[in-house]
Structure 1
Amino acid sequence: MCTGLLACFTVFAFAQKSTQLVNTMEKAIQERNPATIKPYLSEDFRVGIYGSSQAYGMLGQVLSSYDTLEKLVYLKEDNKNISLKYYYKKKSFESTIQLDSSGKIARIPFFDQLFGVNLSNPSRLAAVVPFEFDKGKIVVKLTLNDSKRVLRFLFDTGADGMGIKKEVADEIGIQASRQQQTSVVGASTQVGIATGLTMHFDTLAIRQQNSAIFPRFDGDLDGLFGGNFLRNYITEIDFDKSEIRLYTLGKFTYPTGGALVPLDFSAGVPGIQGTVKLNSGKTLNGNFHFDTGAGYPLILFGPSVHRNKLEEGFHTLYQSTNYSMGHTSNVSNGIFESLQIGSKQLNHFIGTLQSYREGDERWSPSGDGSFGITLIQKFNCIINLADRQFYLTPNKNYAVPSDFWLHNTLWGFSNGELRVKQIMPETSAASSGIAVNDLILSINGVKSADLLDVENIRKYTLDWKNAPIQIEIKKPNLNKPWKTEIE
């Protein structure tokens, strides 16, 4: 019971507004016209895992194809939910409408269920998929359709679906049925699309999947996938155990010790918010693609660099070229002082500014940049598209120093070992005999284990900056360390 005239009037006004909303929704369903209810939808209205225009399109599908509604009856409300009852010819049932803070419709759980999502049910573990973390890539084994050939695919959260190397597709009998424009980080391109595929993992099959067919693909890998997991499951990437755990969509209990961070899915791939500080002192509050397939720490896209004038005062360590699906761009690499993600902060790493050319907006992805595997691997990550949440827990890699630049070479730790990550062409480093992925035992007599201390890295990179360095390397098939000098 309400007490006081003002309290009673507020309750009455809220109930009246809710009744009006239910009546409007009843009319929209009966007339099969989503435009009737559109003014009452939240900006964050979702159906299943989808928001924005996709959710509105799915709403239209429900209204046009489901049974004819006889009536919709308002029952009660609180500040977040309206309880109501649906009456169809052969059945009736109670459900809710979930509201946002302004009283607009955020979710219609009954419509979620029609698309196979029931977020009121507890989430449960559906499958555990092992992976190999190989040269900075999450590599998962799988088979396709009835083929017995075991394929090695990159798990790439920046990919909205699956892609397969053409020569592999030809070998196992997969053919394109249509052509489509597809997007990757930094570019877009035309590819063939195969449909109706089944992905087989140890204890899991994901059916009716589409795949792009790429004329070329990365090294010895056979393909990539990403959204195939993310759209169907709450996905946990555990770098400590080298496994991906998949949970059914529903009420999920997060572990302790991590950071809960909002997730944006408006671009069709997961996006994360963060604040980056450059070595110029400039800061950017940005939206970044969360991209396990990107082999760098953090790249800021050309349009954002241009718009925010981030190149001004930025100290560049080295310049290089970024090539992605037919588009080539110059990039400047230098120290980023920090990146704040939720309550967690990453300090002193090499980041990248992409150069800008007039018209880059036509092909550059939305958002300010891309958060890559070099930093992602420092967390065990839970990606929950249905609730639009990341949960990041620092793992064994969190305290490992980020890659560092010395004598035209990028050095970095992988699985506790110091390795060569990149070599600048046409330099003394390139002619020294070292190669990408070489295992480094020592630099100038300093054991690689001593460089796990970030303060030692800062000290020695300054001390060795202007003098030759002696490198001791463990080369395959050699019984003793191989030595060389970089001037």
Structure 2
Amino acid sequence: MLKNNFILLMLSIVFGMGACNYSKNVLLLSRGELLRDDFRTAIPFHYEKGLILVEATIGSETAPRRFIFDTGAFESKVEKSWGLSMGLPQKATKLNHAAQGVSRQITITQMDTISLEGVPFGKISAGLLQYDSLSASRCLAPGGLIGANLIQHAHWKIDYQQQQLWISDQPFEAGAEAAVLPFSHPTLSGKPSIAINVGGNTVKNLIMDTGYNGSLTLPRALLPEFEGYPADTLIDQSGSGIYGHAAAPDTVFRILLPLRFGERTLQAPVDFTRHGGYLGNEVLENFIVSLNYDNNTIAFVPATATAIRTGPDFVPGILSDSLWQVRRCPVNSPVQFGDTLTRINGYRPCDLYDSYCDYVLGIRELLEQDTLTLEYPEGKTFELTP
């Protein structure tokens, strides 16, 4: 009986601590606010590797750092070592999930102020982010992520063509030509979920995700609804989020499908994946996108049409300074996932890149060659058209 009482006591302490931590997170997330009234401001952004990158300052810091503007992130993130050097308090912990299916326990802080081009937000909760060494995000945004818990406190218009992010305390007018879609979001975050028509089917619970530089992903469970469309099959472990690559490769089924936004229809590559459900910038950049958090709608105004890029079928990763490793390829390719290569077009990784970030920022230039000559350790070669 004494042993059982001890176990019950320990369980009550554990659950009590968990409830306390949860309550702290709820309190932190519910405190954010926009600290400016009656304004409309244009914020220039950099559009690199298909991501929206903005400059922001925290507290009394005067030198801005670059952040990813990420509607798909539940809460904002601040790079951990920088955040601690500024004395940001460690207030709670939580489990954080990335799109690649990788999770990490992170510490939650609260920023008294964070400003984008002079527009201040107060009491914004943020995770202290320790980027994985293989994270592509750290190469683009050393500051962290502007997440949906901040985004929900203002109204936004994203103009991809002009590379301007408009922000206001009042909604932007949609206009008669806009497709206006309702969105839902969690109580404590503005992370928007919408429904769109894909190949004649209404697909719900899609995250409108400006932190995703691809086209559209759907859960593999929806694949039977698109029978009759030709599909390509790939093995992929090339995507890299804040916590690096997915723990295991994924089988991806890619289908070219029509996406309908009001009167506008786009043909876009759709990837059916293990962790699908994200509408990314390769589709969104065909519109001027406005988020209205007063009535929870997103307006899509057609912009100058651009061809929606299909992601590369072949992606090599770096195994070592002198070796490549295939991280993405079609299942019917003579090159297999996981193959080790000594040279691509005569180059080892160290011949092209001085660091991992050089690779992240420069790999597309290599893959845009008309032909790639792949050399294996045993001396055999393949000619590949990416």
TM bucket normalised to smaller: 0.5 to 0.7
State yes or no: 1:209 paired with 2:119: no
Shift of 1:254: 2.1
Which residue does 2:93 correspond to in 1?
179
SS at match of 1:319: strand
Match of residue 272, structure 2, among 341, 347, 353:
353
For residue 336 of structure 1, the aligned residue among 247, 252, 256 is 256
CA distance in structure 2 between the partners assigned to 1:154 and 1:116 by the alignment:
20
Checking the alignment, whether the CA contact within 8 Å between 1:157 and 1:270 is kept in structure 2 is: yes
Query: For 1:305, which of 215, 222, 225 is the aligned residue?
Result: 222
Tell me how far 1:294 sits from its aligned partner. Answer: 1.1
- Gaps in structure 1 of 5+ consecutive residues: 1-56, 62-114, 118-122, 356-363, 411-421, 444-468, 472-483
Query: By how many angstroms is 1:242 displaced?
Result: 1.2
Q: Offset at 1:429?
A: 11
8 Å contact kept, 1:265–1:385: no
Q: Secondary structure at the match of 2:282?
A: helix
2:236 maps to which of 320, 328, 335: 320
State how 1:117-132 maps to structure 2 within 5 Å.
125-132=39-46
1:446 corresponding residue in structure 2: none
The residue aligned with 2:6 is none
Q: Deviations over 1:258-314 (max 9, x none)?
A: 21122222474111211223xxxx845333100010121111135x437x5668986
Question: Which residue does the alignment assign to 1:233?
Answer: 154
In structure 1, the residue matched to 2:51 is 137
Question: In structure 2, do the counterparts of structure 1 residues 329 and 426 end up closer, same or farther at CA, with 3 Å as the change threshold?
Answer: closer
Q: CA deviation at 1:441?
A: 8.0
Counterpart for residue 426 of structure 1: 339
Counterpart in the other structure of 1:19: none
Q: Is the 8 A contact 1:409 1:429 kept in 2?
A: no
Q: C-alpha offsets along residues 187-234 of structure 1, whole Å, 9 cap, x if unaligned?
A: 454210011431122221111111101221523222001325531111
Check the 8 A contact 1:263/1:385 in 2, yes or no. no
Aligned residues: 302
Distance in 2 (CA, whole Å) between partners of 1:179 and 1:311 is: 44
Q: CA 1:470 to 1:210, structure 2 compared with 1: closer, same or farther past 3 Å?
A: closer
Q: What is the percent sequence identity of the aligned residues?
A: 17
- 5+ residue gaps, structure 2, are 1-25, 317-326, 330-337, 353-361, 374-381
Q: Which has the higher contact order (CA 8 A, sep 6+)?
A: 2
Change (3 A) 1:383 1:439: farther
Q: Look up the match of 2:193.
A: 271
CA displacement 1:410-436 (0-9 Å, x = unmatched):
9xxxxxxxxxxx964638897234961
Give the structure 1 partner of residue 294 of structure 2: 386
What does 1:215-226 align with in structure 2 at a 5 Å threshold?
Answer: 215-216=130-131, 218-220=137-139, 221-222=141-142, 223-226=144-147
Per the alignment, in what secondary structure is the counterpart of residue 207 of structure 2? strand
TM-score, normalised relative to structure 2: 0.66
Matches within 5 A, 1:331-480: 331-347=251-267, 349-355=268-274, 369-396=277-304, 398-403=305-310, 405=312, 408=314, 424=329, 426=339, 431-432=344-345, 433=347, 436-438=363-365, 443=370, 469=371
Cα 1:127–1:160 shift into 2, 3 Å: farther
Q: What is aligned with 1:22?
A: none
The 5 Å alignment of 1:12-31 reads: none
1:193 paired with 2:108, answer yes
Q: Distance in 1 between matches of 2:95 and 2:118?
A: 33
Assess if the C-alpha contact under 8 Å between 1:274 and 1:287 holds in 2. Answer: no
CA distance in 2, matches of 1:441, 1:290: 28
User: What's the Cα RMSD here?
Assistant: 3.8
Cα displacement string for residues 98-154 of structure 1 (whole angstroms, at most 9, x for unaligned residues): xxxxxxxxxxxxxxxxx999xxxxx96432221111111100011111123321000
- 1:316 is displaced (CA, Å) by 2.2
| Cα contact 2:161–2:285 (8 A) shared by 1 | no
Distance 1:430-1:263 versus aligned 2 partners, 3 A rule: farther
TM-score (norm 1): 0.54
Find the counterpart in structure 1 of residue 179 from structure 2.
Answer: 259
DSSP 3-state at the match of 1:168: helix
Per the alignment, in what secondary structure is the counterpart of residue 437 of structure 1? helix
* CA displacement, residues 322-370 of structure 1 (integer Å, 9 cap, x when unaligned): 56657545131423221223332210x3321123xxxxxxxx6xxx711
Give the partner amino acid of 1:132: H
Greater gyration radius: 1
